């Protein structure tokens, strides 16, 4: 017998007690992603600017914030924030234990996992401005950063990407 709670997605927020380095963030995300059952992932934290934004050194490049590439699911993308929290939407309740275990394996310090509603399931004004009236992929709802200057502020990992990487 299938009930509503069996088929309803579960949303969780992983809140580490420290900001994650790119290596730790990659290790954690790969542990979570390899467990399967992920619908959406959102990484949040303070921006990592490429140049000094104010003061006497304004405009000077910051070397430590360059080339912060992490690989997830066979696809590399640039990390633009210092990872402070990770929000996940899981296919169901059965994947929650796998996320807890992945965090215990990847994080050498304490963390909290909180359940709740973190993703939108309706189109926002920003979504409408970015994608128009009809959004085909409902996973994109609420993931648009209205202040992002670049188009490529969103990485979409799909089974097609994984299959094409396996064929190589």
pLDDT more than 90, % of the chain:
29
139 vs 18, residue with greater confidence: 18
Q: What is the average per-residue pLDDT within 87-94?
A: 89
When pLDDT is averaged across residues 19-42 and rounded to a whole number, the result is 89
- Mean pLDDT on 55-79: 82
- For the chain, the first-to-last Cα distance in angstroms comes to 41
Task: For residues 44-73, give the mean pLDDT.
Answer: 84
pLDDT score at 1: 41
- Between 166 and 111, the higher pLDDT residue: 111
Q: Which of residues 105 and 63 earns the better pLDDT score?
A: 105
Chain centre to alpha carbon of residue 97 = 19
The larger pLDDT score, comparing residue 154 to residue 16, is at: 16
Q: d(Cα 83, Cα 56) in Å, to the nearest integer?
A: 28
CATH number of the structural domain 4-167:
3.30.70.260
Mean per-residue pLDDT over the chain, rounded: 78
**Per-residue model confidence (pLDDT) at position 119:** 76
């Amino acid at each position: 017998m299938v009930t509503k709670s069996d088929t309803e997605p579960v949303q969780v927020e992983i809140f580490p007690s420290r900001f994650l380095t790119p290596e730790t963030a990659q290790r954690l995300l790969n542990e979570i992603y390899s467990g399967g059952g992920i619908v959406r992932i959102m990484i949040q934290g303070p921006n990592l600017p490429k140049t000094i934004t104010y003061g006497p050194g304004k405009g000077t490049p910051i070397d430590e914030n360059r080339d912060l590439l992490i690989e997830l699911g066979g696809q590399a993308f640039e990390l633009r924030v210092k990872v402070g929290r990770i929000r996940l939407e899981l296919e169901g309740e059965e994947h929650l234990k796998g996320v807890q275990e992945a965090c215990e394996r990847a994080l050498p310090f304490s963390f909290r996992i909180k359940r709740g509603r973190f993703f939108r399931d309706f189109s926002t004004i920003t979504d409408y401005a970015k994608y128009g009236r009809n959004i085909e992929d409902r996973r994109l709802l609420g993931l648009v950063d209205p202040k992002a200057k670049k188009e490529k502020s969103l990485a979409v990992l799909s089974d097609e990407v994984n299959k094409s990487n396996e064929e190589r």
